[in-house]
Amino acid sequence: MTVPDIDPFHAISISALSHRLAAEGRSIIHMEFGQPSTGAPKAALERAHHVLDTDPMGYWESQPLKERIARHYLETYGVRISPDQVILTNGASLALILALLSCFTPGARVALARPGYVAYRNSLRTLHMVPLEIPCGEAERFQLTAEAVAALDPAPDGLIIASPANPTGTILSAPELQAIMDVCQARGIRVISDEIYHGLSYADATHTAFWIMIPPRW
């Protein structure tokens, strides 16, 4: 198997340069990553210290956290899921790799929006999968559309959607998300929905793909 051609993650290169300049005494304002400017909440830090002081650790699992995540889906989206459907990972990047490995095999063709998060493309290539980038301009609000997915011939094995999207921040409305999911279901396309930025919307509502797949049970 040949080594995949993977583009550099330019934010990492910029970060390395900025830290090198800081070590030389330069004053640096870090804006290379989309990460919080503040630390974790005090209550979270206190809880983490308590666990580290009292828990023998080892292979880690948390049924209470799974149950709380399931309750979040019910309270936020009106969707009832089982805690057994929740898989805990050490960060979203690992979750993406796990999802890709669980859903697809080498050679699989997975469609995604361009512009989009560069790690989608790089992760697919690292796993010897084929990213199919669909140009999405201002007219499409830099988001995938059901029409664009329906026009792919042959149908891809998978589709990655992100709402709110990185780096554009645009959100798929409920009808738009429903239309995309309908096309994918009709064409046998597996969907990975990246919803990591839910909670960062200050105007339009965000919708989970679970809400489309599993009708709310109020």
Average pLDDT, the chain: 90
pLDDT at 3: 65
* CA within 13 Å, CB half, 54: 6
In the chain, the largest separation of any two C-alpha atoms, in whole Å, equals: 59
Indicate the residue type of 51: V
Measured CA to CA, the distance from residue 76 to residue 62 in angstroms comes to 21
Neighbours of 168 (CB within 10 A): 16
Domain ranges for the chain: 104-217
Q: Report whether pLDDT(218) > 50.
A: no
Q: Report whether pLDDT(178) > 60.
A: yes
Of 217 and 146, the one with more pLDDT: 146
Long-range contacts of 117-125 (CB under 8 A, 24+ apart): 117/162, 117/165, 117/166, 117/167, 117/194, 118/7, 118/9, 118/10, 119/9, 119/93, 120/96, 120/160, 120/194, 121/7, 122/6, 122/7, 122/9, 123/93, 123/96, 123/97, 124/100, 125/4, 125/5, 125/6
Q: Report whether pLDDT(2) > 50.
A: yes
pLDDT at 181: 94
Mind listing the pLDDT tens digit for each residue in 187-206?
999 999 999 999 888 888 89
Is the domain covering 104-217 a CATH 1.10.10.350 domain? no
Residues 6+ apart with CB under 8 A from 71: none
pLDDT classification of 217: cutoffs 50, 70, 90: very low
Q: Report whether pLDDT(37) > 60.
A: yes
Indicate the residue type of 149: V
- Give the mean pLDDT of 146-170: 95
> Vertex 14, ends 10 and 19: CA angle to 5°?
150
Measured CA to CA, the distance from residue 140 to residue 208 in angstroms comes to 20
Does residue 142 contact residue 136 with C-beta atoms inside 8 Å? yes
- Give the mean pLDDT of 151-164: 97
pLDDT at 116: 93
* Adjacency order of strands within the sheet including 158-162: 130-135, 109-114, 158-162, 190-194
What 3-state DSSP class applies to 79? coil
Measured CA to CA, the distance from residue 78 to residue 88 in angstroms comes to 21
Mind listing the pLDDT tens digit for each residue in 98-156?
999 999 999 999 999 999 998 999 999 999 999 999 999 999 999 999 999 999 999 99
